[in-house]
């Protein structure tokens, strides 16, 4: 990962001091770079995500996410936003409206919660709080817990790792989260699904990595790549 942030990606006060939270935060340029990186990754891995979903679900996860993030990229290109909060809120609302199945509301809720939190505070601490709020929203919607073989199995450890590494700055927190998300996604392989369509397969759902956890890992890997 390139440890050098994108130009304009980190914000500070007019005197050069970081915003609340003690370390540089996130601005609209970095938020846009992250979403663009997610879109590119989803496109590159769409077939893989679809294959994973075909084994235990509807077989449309990659197709739906690619369509959704294509729509997000188009929406942001025509959207004049001067804060990370506005960019990520727009991302979330677009996903809700454009992505079919459960993925739209779930990922849309994550980005909208993150955007709402960052609307008042651009710090890395606030970013972590926004991720936590997004997880809470997803749990309320999907009623899933760690161990149910869902995106929550990647998202929960990723956020915990991000929060723990926050004092070291955004790049370190993003890297820690990406590693934890990837490990969490891999750990879903032996699990028996207890939520969603995969749960209908019972024991046959074991032995397959969860597609939602996999796409969650891609989202955090993209964050690490742009910080």
Enumerate the domain spans of the chain. Answer: 22-226
Specify the pLDDT at position 82: 87
Residue with tokens 């926050």: 166
Q: Which of 50-54, 164-168, 190-194, 206-210 has the highest mean pLDDT?
A: 164-168
Q: Please state the pTM of the whole predicted model.
A: 0.87
Confidence of residue 100 (pLDDT cuts 50, 70, 90): confident
Mean pLDDT within 34-59: 93
Mean pLDDT within 48-58: 88
Share of the chain above pLDDT 70, in %: 85
Lookup: tokens for 27? 């601005």
**Among 28-42, 61-75, 182-196, which is the least confidently predicted range?**
182-196
pLDDT digit string, tens, across residues 1-34: 333 333 334 443 323 334 333 445 799 999 999 9
Q: Name the nearest CA neighbour of 106 among 185, 201, 219.
A: 219
Pairing, β 10-11 against β 25-26: antiparallel
Buried b (16+ CB within 10 A) or exposed e, 81-103: bebbbbbbbbbbbbbbebbebbb
53 secondary structure, DSSP code = H
* φ, ψ for residue 11, nearest 5 deg: -105, 155
Mean pLDDT within 177-196: 91
Task: For domain 22-226, give the CATH superfamily.
Answer: DhaL domain (1.25.40.340)
Specify the pLDDT at position 2: 36
pLDDT digit string, tens, across residues 191-214: 888 767 676 566 766 888 999 999
Residue 188 to residues 29, 75, 183: CA-CA distances in angstroms? 34, 33, 9
Specify the pLDDT at position 211: 95
Crossing angle (nearest 10°) for helices 211-226 and 46-56: 160
Mean pLDDT within 57-72: 92
């Amino acid at each position: 990962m390139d440890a050098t942030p994108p130009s304009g990606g980190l914000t500070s006060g007019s005197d050069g001091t970081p915003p609340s939270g003690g370390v540089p935060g996130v601005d609209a340029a970095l938020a846009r770079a992250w979403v663009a990186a997610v879109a590119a990754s989803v496109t590159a891995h769409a077939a893989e995500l679809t294959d994973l979903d075909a084994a235990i679900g509807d077989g449309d996860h990659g197709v739906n996410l690619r369509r959704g993030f294509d729509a997000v990229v188009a929406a942001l290109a025509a959207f004049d936003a001067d804060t990370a909060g506005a960019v990520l809120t727009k991302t979330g609302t677009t996903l809700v409206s454009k992505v079919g199945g459960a993925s739209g509301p779930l990922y849309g809720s994550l980005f909208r919660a993150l955007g709402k939190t960052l609307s008042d505070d651009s710090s890395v601490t606030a970013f972590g709080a926004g991720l936590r709020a997004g997880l809470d929203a997803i749990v309320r919607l999907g009623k899933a817990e760690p161990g149910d073989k869902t995106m929550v199995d990647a998202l929960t450890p990723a956020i915990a790792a991000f929060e723990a590494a926050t004092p070291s700055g955004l790049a370190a927190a993003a890297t820690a989260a990406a590693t934890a998300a990837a490990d969490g996604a891999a750990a879903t392989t032996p699990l028996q699904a207890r939520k969603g369509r995969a749960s209908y397969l019972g024991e046959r759902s074991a032995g397959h990595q969860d597609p939602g956890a996999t796409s969650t890992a891609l989202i955090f890997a993209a964050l690490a790549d742009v910080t």
